[in-house]
Structure 1
Amino acid sequence: MRKKNLSIIGYLLFGASIFLFGYMLFEMIGTFRANNRVYFDMIGIMQVAVVIAIIALLGTLVIVFCSEKQERTKHVRRYFTYMFIVYVIFLIEALIVSRVTNARIGSMIGENQISFTNYFIYETNFIPFKTIGFYLMDGGKSVNMRTIIDNLFGNLVLFSPFGFFLPYFFKKMRKVANFLMAAVTLNVIIEGAQLMLRVGSCDIDDIILNMIGCMVVFLIYRTKFVQNIFEKLYIIQE
């Protein structure tokens, strides 16, 4: 009976996480439809995602504790499936939807949307390490340190979850070549979408930072030490 009561608490926590995520999703859709400016920054969206993940994790830990051993991997996998959905939606919101919304509102209040030619000239960079080098050399002198952190640290972290999710859900992605191809393709699609929609910036350094972040996580995921830990935590089956 005690474990049953604890299990109910676990499901309530997991449900609370889903409710919070649904509320955030509702707010995002409402903002888009109501033509309101979006003021989420990359770090802010990460913070919301972390809160949702922690609440769901607490619920999952309680559920796993109350479950039979053979059922535990299933519950853990459900948690990561949910986290993958949350991550992908917040990623699209941070990189595409919020920026499209702001651009659309700007045009409605008289702000001219940048032409494709001007965007290509001023908002794109195809020279590797040009932007990274500029931020590192600047050190907050002419650019706000928050902007530097958002662009360097934010891009390192932004795609890093793919280093776990892709090999976790897809066996073919556990090979380095397949993972690299998939990660590069996803990055190019995102940067290409920003270029075509003229939002954010299309920067090869973003791809470099994103790839470094997800490759570090991927290589850690592949280590025998981590695999052994995952087996003990019911993240993967023995």
Structure 2
Amino acid sequence: MRLSEFLRLAIPSVGLASLFVMIIAGGYAIYYRIQKHKGNEIHCSFQKLFLTGLLIGYLIVVILATLASRSSFLYESKTSFELFSSYRLALINFNMREWRNILLNIAMGIPLGILLPCVFEKMKHWWLTYATGLLFTITIEVTQLITHRGIFEIDDIFNNAIGCMIGFGLYILGYALYQKLRKNKSKSLLFSLCNFLFV
């Protein structure tokens, strides 16, 4: 997907995703108050709710930008099963737009690799995060193929999966930094950010 096309589709989706997240948050607030009124104790931190909201918002934006906002007539029967074809095209043409598209597809997977282990304890196992990221991008690409709302590209699957791996790597680095700062009893802004993500 081209950067200009992604931004054109993603920017309106952010508002809609925010609306969905606010509705979910409102529903949870009502549920929380009902349970509290009944005397039931619910253990859920603000950090967990915020990060879950970010994950849901991210998923909505990606789904809307890659599927819901496109016409099925523009992409009829367009597929590319050749791995690294976009890289070869970028090298042959030496076109910055082609490289930008590759980087965009990698960047699209990074938030997923960061947010999954932040929200779900089991996703702190690297293979679960990688498998989930791969499954998510395959689902998007197959849906594009079936609905003709995009181009099915093996390179997109590869690049999104690489992005998810990078995101998980950033999560691990952030967690290691948090442990080091906590050991040194740091009160820096960076420590506060790490504390928000990993506590």
TM range (shorter): 0.5 to 0.7
Contact 1:128–1:204, Cα closer than 8 Å, also in 2? yes
Which residue of 91, 101, 114 corresponds with 2:62?
A: 91
Contact 2:105–2:159, Cα closer than 8 Å, also in 1? yes
- Structure-2-length-normalised TM-score: 0.67
Match of 1:177 in 2: 127
Cα displacement (A) at 1:44: 4.1
Contact 1:157–1:213, Cα closer than 8 Å, also in 2? yes
Contact 2:141–2:152, Cα closer than 8 Å, also in 1? yes
Change (3 A) 1:226 1:210: farther
**Higher RCO, 1 vs 2 (CA within 8 Å, ≥6 residues apart):** 2
Cα displacement (A) at 1:168: 1.2
> CA offsets per residue over residues 67-125 of structure 1, 9 Å max, x none?
xxxxxx933333222222221111111110011xx236x7xxxxxx83xxxx1xxx212
Distance 1:217 1:84 in 2: 13
Match of 2:90 in 1: 135
Q: Does 1:165 align with 2:115?
A: yes
Match of 1:60 in 2: none
Sequence identity of aligned pairs in percent?
A: 25
Q: CA RMSD in A?
A: 2.9
Distance 2:192 2:130 in 1: 23
Contact 1:183–1:211, Cα closer than 8 Å, also in 2? yes
Match of 2:176 in 1: 225
Distance 1:82 1:97 in 2: 20
Distance 1:155 1:86 in 2: 18
Cα displacement (A) at 1:150: 5.3
Amino acid at match of 1:170: F
Amino acid at match of 1:236: F
Cα displacement (A) at 1:159: 1.7
Distance 2:100 2:79 in 1: 17
Distance 2:137 2:150 in 1: 14
Distance 2:194 2:69 in 1: 40
Distance 1:81 1:215 in 2: 19
> CA offsets per residue over residues 14-46 of structure 1, 9 Å max, x none?
xxxxxxxxxxxxxxxxxxxxxxxxxx8313455
Contact 2:109–2:167, Cα closer than 8 Å, also in 1? no
Distance 2:195 2:67 in 1: 35
Q: Give the match's secondary structure for 2:50.
A: helix
Distance 1:174 1:221 in 2: 9
Name structure 1 gaps, 5 residues minimum: 1-39, 54-72, 107-112
Contact 1:43–1:154, Cα closer than 8 Å, also in 2? no
Amino acid at match of 1:216: I
Match of 2:27 in 1: none
Cα displacement (A) at 1:134: 0.6
Distance 2:143 2:72 in 1: 14
Name structure 2 gaps, 5 residues minimum: 19-43, 180-190
Cα displacement (A) at 1:198: 1.4
Contact 2:102–2:159, Cα closer than 8 Å, also in 1? yes
Q: Give the match's secondary structure for 1:127.
A: coil
- Structure-1-length-normalised TM-score: 0.57
* Counterpart mapping for 1:97-136 below 5 A: 97-99=68-70, 102-103=71-72, 114=76, 119=77, 123-136=78-91
Task: Name the count of aligned residue pairs.
Answer: 157
